[in-house]
A and B are shown apart, each in its own frame.
Chain A
């Protein structure tokens, strides 16, 4: 099983600043990586797929990069609605998809 490790576990950032979240895979997943946002009491929402492609309706301040084992989600200028938990997911070994443990993005 591919293990996905996210860092940091919690990230404190002020509104308007940039946030950078990391995700590392225990072996290469090529570009088969997605990012999801989850707010309390809600289902996850797809933000990024194929490592760097924004899903429909996702604002341009969200961007993804990386390939192989190292990936990054960047939020360029944090808005109040962006404070949430973010998960990465690899689907290179479908159907044995795996999720990272999540990064909580909180207001500084």
Chain B
């Protein structure tokens, strides 16, 4: 069974840091570009970050540029998102997603990041 499982979410104070992980099983992520997509409470989907299949190219949305870092370890079949200088408006469910050809055929169940003092 193809599965993506996120972990690492939780409660953090403004200005703090968190590292999210996304472990894949049932398939190898090395063939896929991978993405982080977030969804604030009651809001729509926001594309946060992306990384090419070999890790050579990365992308960050304007709202997280300079604060978040995406990375991947294809040997561990895992995607990461290092989040720093967290703000209240970063509070959301964070999904990892990936697929061939640009659309996202595989999604994790999401991990909740709460930013509050």
**Interface on A for B, CB 8 Å cutoff?**
32, 34, 36, 38, 42-46, 49-50, 55-56, 87, 89, 91-92, 94-102
Interface size class of B (residues with CB under 8 A): 20 to 34
With contacts A87-B45, A99-B44 taken as known, whether A34 is within 8 angstroms of B104 at the C-beta atoms is yes
Q: Which residues of A contact B95 (CB under 8 A)?
A: 43-44
Interface centre among A42, A56, A94, A100 (most CB of B within 10 A): A94
Interface of B, helix, strand, loop or mixed by DSSP? strand
A-B contacts, 17 listed (Cβ < 8 Å): A34-B103, A43-B108, A43-B109, A44-B45, A44-B97, A45-B107, A46-B103, A49-B105, A87-B45, A89-B103, A95-B57, A95-B59, A96-B47, A99-B37, A99-B44, A99-B47, A100-B44
Q: Which residue of B lies closest to A42 (CB)?
A: B109
Q: Tally inter-chain residue pairs, CB-CB below 8 A.
A: 70
In the complex, A36 Cα to B52 Cα: how many Å?
A: 22
Q: Are A46 and B45 in contact (CB under 8 A)?
A: no
Q: Which residue of B lies closest to A49 (CB)?
A: B103
Smallest CB–CB gap between B60 and chain A, Å? Answer: 9
Smallest CB–CB gap between B98 and chain A, Å? Answer: 11
Q: Which residue of A lies closest to B45 (CB)?
A: A99
